[in-house]
Structure 1
Amino acid sequence: MKYLIPLLFAASPVLADAPVVENITYSDGRFDVTLSHGDTGWDDYADGWRVELADGTVLGTRVLAHPHVNEQPFTRSSQIMVPDGVTQVFIRASDNVGGWADDTVPFSPN
């Protein structure tokens, strides 16, 4: 019985830290989002970020197609228009292990 507990931990999935949104800029419909993440290669890397409204509506997603092991933090851009009258959006990052992060970063595009 004393070996059961270590075996349970060994069988548990490894939970990686979510990517961290370090900086956001917006100008003329273009978002520049800087992320940091402990990318280790193809097995664990930041694979995207998206812009959401307060109700969860996704305005646009930037897919990151490869690891950035030796480029931390890194910035990627995407043309994502914010509807007129919207004063705050939320940036949510993702990695290929944990998926979309629970937390978002609020941002005022005005």
Structure 2
Amino acid sequence: MMRAALIACLLCPALTARADIPVVEGATAIRDGAGWRFSVTLSHPDTGWDHYADGWRVVAEDGTVLATRELLHPHVTEQPFTRSLGGVALQEGIKRVGIQARCNRDGWGKVGFWLDLGE
């Protein structure tokens, strides 16, 4: 029993180390001239320059990265927050994309939101 508790305690930091990946709260996509404009809402417990949500990307269903939006500063007092990226060219036939977020400490999370493009 004591050994199991010790193992659980040792694993806890590993399990919580990636607990602060940004959450994709929502996303929209609209036609924008020849491309698409994506607006993505993230939440993340930004603490300052040492730990903040620093980007999101649009990915195809096969994992191909289609576009990336860099976030250049923390949003400590602005949670959740929305940022957009326009002029995204998508190959013909792409009907569904995922949104994946990143923080500067923990890296990329899993695709947190799927968006049907309705075409």
Q: TM-score range by the shorter chain?
A: 0.7 to 0.9
Q: State the Cα distance separating 1:56 from its structure 2 match.
A: 1.0
Aligned to 1:23: 26
Indicate the RMSD between aligned Cα atoms, in angstroms: 1.8
Q: How does 1:68-83 map to 2 (within 5 A)?
A: 68-79=75-86, 80-83=88-91
The answer for unaligned runs of 5 or more in structure 1 is none
Q: What SS does the aligned partner of 1:100 have?
A: strand
Higher relative helix content: 2
Give 4+ residue runs of structure 1 displaced > 3 Å after superposition.
none
Which residue of 42, 57, 60 corresponds with 1:53? 60
Please tell me whether residue 89 in structure 1 is matched to residue 94 in structure 2.
no
Higher percent of residues as strand = 2
Size of the aligned set, in residue pairs, is 102
**Matched residue of 1:70: which SS?**
coil
* Identity fraction in percent: 51
Cα separation, partners in 2 of 1:27 and 1:103, compared to 1, 3 Å: closer
Would you say the 8 A contact 2:46–2:74 is kept in 1? Answer: yes
1: CA distance, partners of 2:43 / 2:112: 14
Corresponding residue of 1:42: 49
| Whole-angstrom distance in 1 between the partners of 2:23 and 2:85 | 18
**Correspondence 1:102 to 2:110:** yes
Where structure 2 has 5 or more consecutive residues not aligned to the other structure, the ranges are: 1-5
